[in-house]
Every structure is written in structure tokens, then in C-alpha cells.
Amino acid sequence: MRHAALALALTTAPLAAQSADEIEAARQAFHEGHHALALTVLIPAAEAGDAVAQNTYAIALGDGLGVPVDGTAAVEMFEKSMAQGNLKAMHNLAHHYHYGAKGVPADPAKALTLYEEAIAKGYKAAGAGLGRLYANGLGVEADPARAAELYAMGAEAQEPNAAYNLANAYRTGTGVAEDPAKALALYTEAGLLGNGLAWNALGLMFEYGMGTEANNEAAFLAYREAINADVALAGINAGLFVTAKEGPWQDPVEGYGYCLWGINNAAEDDRETFIQQCEALVEYLSVEEEDAAKRFAEGL
């Protein structure tokens, strides 16, 4: 595994001598969740001036991954990476100002400028973030049609959030003509690129026959992919689906288990709504079945 190879590199070479390959291995390990291990390579490399390491270290600082959150330090590190021509760092700094971070309030105008500069220099994936600004009227007058154009640009660059947002636009007819079939194709693209919310949307599309014929097997598989991506809402949708829909997946105990998983992983603002949606699923379960559902949820 890559992180095992990284650990071996740390024991056989001094930090100052880390190669570009070892820095790349550390970057990948960081994005796989091995933050502390990866940063033992990335921090000294960033301090020594490596632009890739600076960008990833800045992400760590901005999100508090393996280090304490420090939005101001993140900005400084993104700027150092940008100064060496790293367009990913420019895009990430735009995202930083788009949503704000500890010590750095949101600044849509700065985000807009940085997204536009990144696109002008060839980083088309920034269309995802810039599209969100136009969609929500942040730092610029709201323009759904322009937002859709920017999402399309990002989707062409295989940016998963851009593909997902463009799918939403086609599903709802926001800024583009409503087209459920295009939405289905774009949700599929976004899901395959790693957007978990897209898998949940696909589950709904297949379950209710939007843009395609209803397909319960495809719906179940899509919900499962979304759960694997930690999308709490997919647990609720899967629970309702598994309880009600006939097929090899039908199981009221597992249905309530999916719901419990969704509740346990929900954002605080969503939890009460999820609890209400799942109340009916437990009504006819025995105490033993409730316990079995809890064990199922713990195993997801």
C-alpha cells in the first residue's frame, strides 16, 4: 500500500532528502486519510519550498487535518504555492475565501477574482466554485445560466462537484432547459468521479423513474454507494426503500438499521428530521429486532 511505502521511506531517508516521488506518495497518503503520517514528509518539504507540499499543507491547516486549524497560516501557505505557479493552490485559496475558515472570514469578492484568474490560466475545474458564486449571487449578481455554463466547464475538466451541480441544474431546469436524462448521465459521471451526493441522487432517479425507467436494483446499489461515501441522507433513503420495496433487499430490520446509520451520521440540523422520517420503521419491530437493527447500523 502507498502509505506503507511512505512509512518505509521515512525510516530509510532523512526528511530533507525526500524526493518528488516521496512527496507525491505523501500527498496521496494525506488524501487517503493518513494525515499525520503524510505531514511528517509534507511539512518539511513545504518549508523547504516545494509547491505541491505547500498546497497540501495549506489544506491541512485550513481544515485542521493532522494539525490545529489555522486559516491565516493556510492562506500564507496557499500564497507561497501560488507564487510558484501552482493553479491548484490558487483554486484552493479561492475556495478558502468562498466558504471562510478559522481566522479568515468568507470573502466572495476575493474568491471570485481567484476563481476567474485560475480559469483564465487554464484551470477549468475552478468552474465548479465560480459557478456556485453565480448560482447564489455571492460577490456577483445571481445568474443561473452563467452558473450552468461554468459548471459545464468544470465538468469537462472532470471536476466531480461541477458535474453534480450541473446535474442538479438539468434536473430542476435551473439556468438550462429541464432534462432528466442529461441529469441522470451527469449524476453518473459525478458519482464515478467520487461525488457521494451524486450516488444518492441516482438512487432517487432510479427508484422513481426520473430520466429513465424505474429500476429498483440500480436504486439499491446507488444508495449503497452513497452510504459508502458517508452520505447520511442515503441511509434514510435506503432505509425507506429497503423497508417498502419488494425484492431480495427487502428487510424491515435492515431498513431501520440504515435509518439509524443515517441518523447517527447526520449533521445536527438534519438529525431531528431524519428521526421523524424513520419513526414509522421501528413501530412494528420487536425489541430483539431493534437490537439487530442497531448492530446492522454499527457494521455499515
Q: Is the dihedral of CA 269, 91, 106, 155 positive or negative?
A: negative
Domain boundaries, the chain: 195-300
Please say if the pLDDT value at position 289 is more than 80. Answer: yes
Q: What are the DSSP calls for 115-159, one per residue? A: HHHHHHTT-GGGHHHHHHHHHHTSSS---HHHHHHHHHHHHHTT-
**Cell 510558484 found at:** 84
Find the largest Cα–Cα distance for the chain: 64
Q: How confident is the model at residue 102 (pLDDT cuts 50, 70, 90)?
A: confident
Q: What is the pLDDT of residues 129-161, one digit of tens each?
A: 999 999 999 999 999 999 999 999 999 999 999
Contact 113, 140 (CB under 8 A): no
Q: Is the pTM of this model over 0.85?
A: yes
Q: Which CATH superfamily is domain 195-300 in?
A: Tetratricopeptide repeat domain (1.25.40.10)
Q: Is the dihedral of CA 127, 132, 133, 135 positive or negative?
A: positive
The pLDDT of 222-232, averaged and rounded, is: 98
Q: How confident is the model at residue 114 (pLDDT cuts 50, 70, 90)?
A: very high
**Cell 437490537 found at:** 291
